Structure 1
Amino acid sequence: MFESAELGHRLSKADYDEIEPQLRTDLLNAQFELLENKGFATVILINGIDGAGRGETVNLLNEWMDPRHIEVHAFDKPTDEERERPFLWRFWRALPAKGKIGILFGNWYSDPIGDRAFGRIKKAHLDQRLSDLNRFEAMLAAEGVLLIKFWFHLSRQGQKKRLKALEANPDTRWRVREADWLFYEEYDRYRAVAEHVLRRTSTGIAPWVIVDGTDPQYRAAQVGNTLLEGLRRKIEQVNKGYRARLTAAPLARAVDERNLLNALVLNQPMEKKDYESQLEKLQGRLAMAMRSEAFAKRSLVLVFEGMDAAGKGGAIRRVTQALDTRQYQVSPIAAPSDEERAQPYLWRFWRRLPRRGKVTIFDRSWYGRVLVERVEGFCSEADWMRAYTEINDFEDQLVSAGAIVLKFWLSVSDEEQLRRFKAREEAAFKRYKITPDDWRNREKWPLYEPAVCDMIDRTSTENAVWTLVEADNKYYARVKILRVLVDKLELALNK
């Protein structure tokens, strides 16, 4: 894969001086067209061999274009806060908004390549990580992100020559560290791993561009032209209204119309006295589990979804009553803000993930993509169809990072929902809970029901199982949620 980059490509100073002014002008024009239409974000990954000109190229792009609209992120070893979240968390947070260009130096490829090259992980672990990265990049592309991946390459001899030249110049000697020579000694092993990684992750939607780092002028022209071509092509697609086409097979429907929701017996018996007795015991168990040393090494993510007036808020309050207020955060999810619309749809949830020893409770969640956005037509069929896999990947990443993920769907009957709606309208202190949208959504329940069933079928996984809650009786619903929560939490902490 690297052979063509070792040919020693050259560009004379005269040729470079001739093309550089027009290239700079064209890049700047493309950048401002991107900024004006805000149709997509651009993410540039900078990877490669030490001494191949990565840093110089980043500085050059900032010089050629308007640096106010370029966000450069250089990643070093993860902080304690970053280690307590999924591997991709710190990169998720660095993604640029639509209209912006983000340059990620030392990105999601650096650690996997280095860890494998120096024997810290096995090949199977590396390949699993690469599969995860391919799916992540596919999601970014489907969300409209222009992803350009540069690998700056030098031959072993070329790297040695470069390091010696830097050391020989008093003005650049400081740039050569002992670690650079140690890396040079491991060049062959690093190159073999890098070649494997690039082959596994150079895809149709996010191919690698190999940049010959031998000649600074050729390198600059290659990177500039690649970026310009990518920007122009993407801007043209956005201006023409290009959208991804749906290729998935249609979702099956039960012939007898029996499904996960209409098979529930929603009015489960429980008296108030029994409820109060069980509530106190379950909240006590929950409090003890959350104070344990085992939980200090984990985190808890609770997802509450359900029909309007199904009792999500009341159930959440019974959970938080058992928790230290410093330990949890409740995140009620409404329509996305302008800032959130400028990012991939999962971005606003990535930002709210808890650290170890903490809890985040989502009152509605990322499942809006396959529920309200699907039913209301806020996203295309291609968008919500691919979201099932993206959500499963996201939740798997949470679990792999030590999170315990529990998801609850609360259902009420048509008659009970109507009774609660009317009660809310009649009680002055509950009127804020009922809106015209609630009545409109009630009329659309025949459309929501199959969407909910598809959601449960496709996202109830071994790592994040859905719990269906019969919620006509609020006492029963609250106790069931607490019991499932406590049982699964204790089981996870005792492993």
Structure 2
Amino acid sequence: MFEAAELGRKISREDFDAMAPGLRTELLALQQQLREADFPVVVLFAGVDGAGKNETVNLLNEWMDPRWIVTRAYGPSSDEERERPEYWRYWRDLPPKGKVGLFMSSWYHHPLIDRVTDKISGPELDERLERIVHFEKTLADEGALILKFWMHLSQKAQKKRLKSLEKDELTAWQVTKQDWQHWEMYDKFVAAAERMIMHTSKGHAPWQIVEGADPRYRSAVVLQTLKEAITKHFAARDAVKKVNAEIKGKKSDQPGALASQPSILSSLDMTQDIEGAEYNQALQEQRARLAHLYHAAKEKGVSTALVFEGWDAAGKGGTIRRLTNALNARDYQVIPIAAPTEEERAQHYLWRFWRHIARAGRVTVFDRSWYGRVLVERVEGFCTEEAWRRAYGEIVDFEKQLTDHGIVMCKFWLHITAEEQLARFNARGEIEYKKWKLTDEDWRNREQWGAYEQAVNDMVERTSTTDAPWTLVEANSKNFARVKVMRTVADALEAALGKPGKKKKD
């Protein structure tokens, strides 16, 4: 695979200097056009030590406007990062739409090193590479342009390059003992890299192997590839928008048809209730139990993520308040999810949820969540049908990363009947301190009851998994709902604490 990158190709200084002004002008123009685009550009640099990754990244920042470039390089994970799923730090650093992100020692680094040092087997490497494929496809499906450059040197050329760097006082610091150790394992690196590139070079995120011996040649290849890729991506995005507009124009909404379909919600016994002294006793028991289990989870570094979805006026807020009453305010955070902000709209829809994943031992409560993509965005037409259908798999993958890390996840749909909702709406309008809760949007959403019910049915059917199941809560009785939610969370913590915690590798 790498033989074509060991041919000793060069570009003369005269040829490079003649090409540079025009290419630089074109890149700057594209960057200005990109600022108004609906996609980010993600550029990864990996390869042989000394093959020019740092120099190329520096050149890109020099030639283009660095204000619209995000540059990230990764070392060993910090304590803060180890307490979260592996991909948390990469999601955190993704460039927003309109910017270019340059990544070194990124999500490919640890799998490659672990394979070369025999910490993992070939099949284990493939499993981790498949995680990368899913990650990159999730970004690409939302519009991101992904480019990956493997900067290559032959073993002989690498030795020459490292010695040259060591001789210069200004660059000697770049060469470490680890670089020479890697050089001695050159054949193992090449074999692992070949397997990695073959597994992860996809149409949505291709690898480009760049011969790195001549700095002008490698610079020309990277710069020209970047220019052509951005230009083509603009054209591809325009074509996608045109097709989506045509599909949307031909499609007719049929909420009535959806309303006639039976759903999982219709099977719930909505008469269940608990009152008076029995309720107070049950609430106190579950609160005490939850407090004990939450403290035990904190000591073991076990985090909890709670997701609350449900109809307007179903009692999510009141249930959350009773639940958090059992916790220490220092250790939990309630995240209310509304329409995305300007900053959030500039990112992948999952980005704003990744950023709220808590450190070990904390509790995060999402008052509405990432399921907005397959609920409100689906029903109201805020995203394409292709996007919300694709989201089921993206969400299951997201939640699996959390639960694989050892996070306890509980997801609740608080269900009330249409008649109960109407009664609560009317009651809100008569109580001064609750009037603010009732909006025109609540009444409008009520008209789409059938469409939402079918969306909920599909959501539960496609995203309720063993490690992240949905709990459907019969919430016509607020008392019954609160006790059921607290008992479910306590049961989940109890089950998790009975199992050995999963440790994440650095």
Q: Which residue of 1 aligns with 2:416?
A: 412
User: Which of 375, 378, 382 is 2:379 aligned to?
Assistant: 375
CA distance in 2, matches of 1:32, 1:380: 28
Asked whether 1:236 is paired with 2:240, we answer: no
Say if 1:267 and 1:471, in contact at 8 Å, map to a contact too: no
Q: Which residue of 2 aligns with 1:25?
A: 25
CA distance in 1, matches of 2:435, 2:69: 47
Asked whether 1:393 is paired with 2:397, we answer: yes
Q: Which residue of 2 aligns with 1:71?
A: 70
Deviations 1:62-100 (A, max 9, x none): 111111111111111111111111111101011111111
Say if 2:298 and 2:360, in contact at 8 Å, map to a contact too: no
Structure 1 segment 442-481 matched on structure 2, within 5 A:
442-481=446-485
Q: Which amino acid aligns with 1:306?
A: G
Say if 1:149 and 1:207, in contact at 8 Å, map to a contact too: yes
Structure 2, unpaired ranges of 5+: 248-256, 500-506
Q: Which residue of 2 aligns with 1:264?
A: 268
Secondary structure, counterpart of 1:362 in structure 2: strand
Secondary structure, counterpart of 1:291 in structure 2: helix
Deviates more, 1:11-20 or 1:453-462: 11-20
CA distance in 1, matches of 2:318, 2:299: 25
Structure 1 segment 31-46 matched on structure 2, within 5 A:
31-35=31-35, 37-46=36-45
Deviations 1:376-399 (A, max 9, x none): 000000100100000000000001
Check 1:158–1:243 CA distance in 2 against 1; reply closer, same or farther (3 A cut): farther
Q: Which residue of 2 aligns with 1:250?
A: none
Q: Which residue of 2 aligns with 1:132?
A: 131
Residue 240 of structure 1 deviates from its aligned partner by 4.8
When the two chains are superposed, the root-mean-square deviation of aligned CA atoms in Å is: 1.7
Asked whether 1:192 is paired with 2:191, we answer: yes
CA distance in 2, matches of 1:136, 1:305: 26
Check 1:351–1:180 CA distance in 2 against 1; reply closer, same or farther (3 A cut): same
Check 1:412–1:7 CA distance in 2 against 1; reply closer, same or farther (3 A cut): same
Deviations 1:210-235 (A, max 9, x none): 11101111100000000000111122
CA distance in 1, matches of 2:118, 2:96: 36
% identity of equivalent residues: 52
Check 1:481–1:171 CA distance in 2 against 1; reply closer, same or farther (3 A cut): closer
Deviates more, 1:172-181 or 1:23-32: 172-181
Asked whether 1:296 is paired with 2:295, we answer: no
Q: Which amino acid aligns with 2:463?
A: T
TM-score, with structure 1 as normaliser: 0.96
CA distance in 2, matches of 1:350, 1:113: 25
CA distance in 1, matches of 2:238, 2:261: 43
Q: Which residue of 1 aligns with 2:54?
A: 55
CA distance in 2, matches of 1:398, 1:362: 14
Aligned length: 488
Residue 130 of structure 1 deviates from its aligned partner by 1.1
Q: Which residue of 2 aligns with 1:141?
A: 140
Q: Which residue of 2 aligns with 1:3?
A: 3
CA distance in 2, matches of 1:267, 1:494: 34
Residue 294 of structure 1 deviates from its aligned partner by 6.4
Secondary structure, counterpart of 1:344 in structure 2: coil
Say if 1:289 and 1:295, in contact at 8 Å, map to a contact too: no
Structure 1 segment 77-476 matched on structure 2, within 5 A:
77-240=76-239, 242=241, 257-292=261-296, 296-476=300-480
Secondary structure, counterpart of 2:491 in structure 1: helix
Deviates more, 1:362-371 or 1:112-121: 112-121
Secondary structure, counterpart of 1:149 in structure 2: strand
Say if 1:244 and 1:382, in contact at 8 Å, map to a contact too: no
Check 1:83–1:413 CA distance in 2 against 1; reply closer, same or farther (3 A cut): same
Secondary structure, counterpart of 1:292 in structure 2: helix
Q: Which amino acid aligns with 2:6?
A: E
Q: Which amino acid aligns with 2:115?
A: R
CA distance in 2, matches of 1:237, 1:430: 49
Q: Which amino acid aligns with 2:446?
A: R
Q: Which amino acid aligns with 1:65?
A: M
CA distance in 2, matches of 1:240, 1:133: 27
Check 1:185–1:99 CA distance in 2 against 1; reply closer, same or farther (3 A cut): same
Residue 170 of structure 1 deviates from its aligned partner by 3.6
CA distance in 2, matches of 1:481, 1:39: 40
Deviates more, 1:170-179 or 1:78-87: 170-179
Structure 1, unpaired ranges of 5+: 247-252
Secondary structure, counterpart of 2:263 in structure 1: coil
Say if 2:297 and 2:493, in contact at 8 Å, map to a contact too: no
